[in-house]
Amino acid sequence: MRNDVRKLREERSLSQGDLARDLRVSRQTVNAIETGRYLPSLPLALAIGRYFGKAIEEVFHDDGQG
């Protein structure tokens, strides 16, 4: 599973700490999501999508899909 969290965050000039604070998770968790080490729960994935104004499938992608 790939995701565009890092790209979306950097487009908004946010630090991992900023995003973590707004999502109420730890900075390490944001880093783990961005690097694909941790797959967030559906509620957190939805919150991430809402945060960036995107649908969940616009942020998270199956491997092999664009």
Partner 1 sequence: MTTGKDRVMGMNRTSMCKWFVPAVAFVIGLVVAAAELGSNASPWQAAVAFVIVAGYALGLRLLQSRSETASLLSGLPVDERWESINNRALALAAEAIAIFLLAVFVVTEFGGGDAMPYAMSIAAFGVAYLGGILWYRWRL
To the nearest whole angstrom, how small is the minimum distance from the Cβ of residue 7 to partner 1? 21
Which of 8, 40, 49, 60: binder of partner 1 (CB under 8 A)? 40
Candidates 9-17, 20-28, 53-61: pick the segment binding partner 1 (CB under 8 A).
20-28
Task: Please give the Cα distance from 13 to 62 (Å, whole number).
Answer: 26
Distances (CA, A) of 10 to 43, 46, 63, 65: 22, 19, 22, 22
By the criterion CB under 8 A, which residues form the site for partner 1?
23-26, 28-29, 32, 38, 40-44, 47
